[in-house]
Structure 1
Amino acid sequence: MKLGVFMVLFGGKPFEEALDYIAAKGLDAVEIGTGGYPGTAHCNPAELLADAGKLKAFKHAVESRGLTISALSAHGNPLHPQKHIAKEFHDAIIQTIELAERLEVPVVNTFSGCPGDHEDAKYPNWPVAPWPNDFQEILDWQWENKVIPYWQETGKFASDRNIKIGLELHGGFSVHTPATLLRLREAAGEVIGANLDPSHMWWQGIDPVQAVQILGRANAIHHFHAKDTSHDYNNTNRFGVTDMQSYANMLDRAWQFRSVGFGHDMKVWADIISALRLVGYDYVVSIEHEDGLMSVDEGFSKAVANLQQVLIKEPLGEMWWV
């Protein structure tokens, strides 16, 4: 496995300065935002696709520092019921797939999206309860009319270019659990896989080790984010895991994102890394920093130091003891 970072946290630094900082930390890979929620601070796909010289210089900037690009990321909601919003996210995903092909980057990360509850809806509707039965009807309509058709078409566009789609399992979107990821993969093909982030498993009450095994047995992990979650169970008892308070209200929230090792100890993270190895995942572990109690530099540095203790880097040898 290789250690990488989602560069969006260094969006305030110029691209090459951020690459220098990352390389100095001993990392192997970078994941780069290319639109949608991550923005285009370090990479504007339209510019690079239109200018071969800029594209070559961009690629050289990464490779000359001994780094590789693990994924391009254009997280967004391409199924948003307001068509102009959906189009912006969709266009970012399509351009990112085209750029990934040109850069020979194997994975594009994004969200599945979440539609509304009917054709004339204005806002997404995320059904999470089986009753009253209205929610089941909404869910069926969304998947049959929006989620599956969109990803069948967009998945084919990516597959034709030898690009895999890594969908982040994230609350608020149609694909948010191992089961929903596998449902979409069955309908849209193996081009669809997970950009698995354990932090979103923990707050939903899902064991990330089991999520790795469920998805890994189906060869459905295309990319992996390293981010932690901590719980305040007194607050959970008040607000539940679907706590709608702002992330900034950290003292009162049921759960919050943390840097690796500050929500769960390193034995838990060692178990996650071991599970990844067990199911054959030998790609990048990409640090994502969203810890409201630490600066970017400190949270990132601690995540690097903690993951370096447990990351399994060397190829498997023979079992000499067997």
Structure 2
Amino acid sequence: MKLGVFTVLFAQKSLEDALDYIASKGLDAVEIGTGGYPGNAHCDPDALLADAGKLKAFKQAVESRGLMISALSCHANPLHPQKHLAAADDAVIRKTIELANRLEVEVVNTFSGCPGDHEDAKYPNWPVAPWPNDYQDILKWQWEQKVIPYWSEIGGIAEKAGVKIGLELHGGFSVHSPATLLRLREAAGNAIGANLDPSHMWWQGIDPVQAVHILGRAGAIHHFHAKDTTIDPVNVNRHGVTDMQSYALMLDRAWQFRTVGFGHDLKVWADIISALRLVGYDYVVSIEHEDGLMSVDEGFTKAVQNLQQVLIREPLGDMWWV
């Protein structure tokens, strides 16, 4: 396995300065934002696709520092009910797939998106209960009319480009759990897989080790994010896991994102890494920092230090004891 980082953490730095800093920490890979929610501070698809020289220089900037690009990431909502918003996000996803093909990057990460509850809706509608039955009707319409048709098309485009789509299982979007990811994969093809982030599993009550087994046995893990979560034992009883308070209200929230090792100990992270190896995932573990109690530099550095202790780097050898 290789250790990487989502470079959106360092959007305030130039690409070259960010890469120098990342390389100085002993990392192997970078995940780079191309638009959508992560922005495109380090990678403008329009500029790179239009200029072969800029494309070559971009790739050289990464590789000359001993790094690889694990994924291009354009997390967005291409199913947004407001058509102009959906169209902009869809365009970024398509350009990112093309750019990944040109750069020989294996994975494009994004969100599944979430539609509204009817054709003329203004805002996404994320059903989270089976009753009243209205929610079942909404869910059926969303999947049959929006989610499956869109991702079947995008999956086909990605497959032709030799690119895999890593959908992050994230609350608020149609694909947010192992089951919803596998449902879409079955309908839209094997180019669709997960960018599995354990932090979003924990707050939903899902054991990330079991999520790795469920998805990994199906060959459905395309990329992996390293981010932690802590559940507040008092506040969760007041607000539940679907706490709608701002992430900034950390003292009052039911759960919070933390850097690796500050929500769960390294034995838990060792179990996750071992499960990844067990199901055949031997790609990049990409650090994402969203810890409101630590600066970016401190949170990133501690995540690197903690993951270096549990990451399994060397290829498997023969079982001499068998």
Fold equivalence (TM over 0.5): yes
What is the CA–CA distance in structure 2 between the aligned matches of 1:93 and 1:10, rounded to whole Å?
Answer: 22
- Which residue identity is paired with 1:250? M
The aligned runs of 1:137-286 (5 Å cut-off) are: 137-286=137-286
- Which residue identity is paired with 1:10? F
User: How many corresponding residue pairs?
Assistant: 322
| Structure-1 residue corresponding to 2:306 | 306
Report deviation, 1:233. Answer: 1.3
- Which residue identity is paired with 1:246? S
| Structure-2 residue corresponding to 1:291 | 291
Report deviation, 1:84. Answer: 0.2
Report deviation, 1:17. Answer: 0.2
TM-score of the aligned structures, taking structure 2 as reference length: 1.00
The aligned runs of 1:57-206 (5 Å cut-off) are: 57-206=57-206
| Structure-1 residue corresponding to 2:16 | 16
| Structure-2 residue corresponding to 1:54 | 54
What is the CA–CA distance in structure 2 between the aligned matches of 1:192 and 1:233, rounded to whole Å?
Answer: 36
What is the CA–CA distance in structure 1 between the aligned matches of 2:231 and 2:180, rounded to whole Å?
Answer: 24
SS at match of 2:121: coil
**Does 2:293 align with 1:316?**
no
The Cα offsets for residues 91-144 of structure 1, whole Å up to 9 and x where unpaired, read as 010000000000000100000000000000000000000000000000000000
Report deviation, 1:321. Answer: 1.1
SS at match of 1:119: coil
What is the CA–CA distance in structure 1 between the aligned matches of 2:12 and 2:254, rounded to whole Å?
Answer: 30
What is the CA–CA distance in structure 1 between the aligned matches of 2:189 and 2:90, rounded to whole Å?
Answer: 19
Query: Percent of pairs identical after alignment?
Result: 82
What is the CA–CA distance in structure 2 between the aligned matches of 1:97 and 1:255, rounded to whole Å?
Answer: 34
- Which residue identity is paired with 1:283? Y
Report deviation, 1:320. Answer: 1.0
TM-score of the aligned structures, taking structure 1 as reference length: 1.00
Report deviation, 1:166. Answer: 0.2
SS at match of 2:99: helix
Gaps of 5+ in 1: none
- Which residue identity is paired with 1:96? T
The Cα offsets for residues 224-247 of structure 1, whole Å up to 9 and x where unpaired, read as 000000010100000000000000
What is the CA–CA distance in structure 2 between the aligned matches of 1:160 and 1:56, rounded to whole Å?
Answer: 22
SS at match of 2:3: strand
Report deviation, 1:203. Answer: 0.3
| Structure-2 residue corresponding to 1:42 | 42
What is the CA–CA distance in structure 1 between the aligned matches of 2:162 and 2:283, rounded to whole Å?
Answer: 17
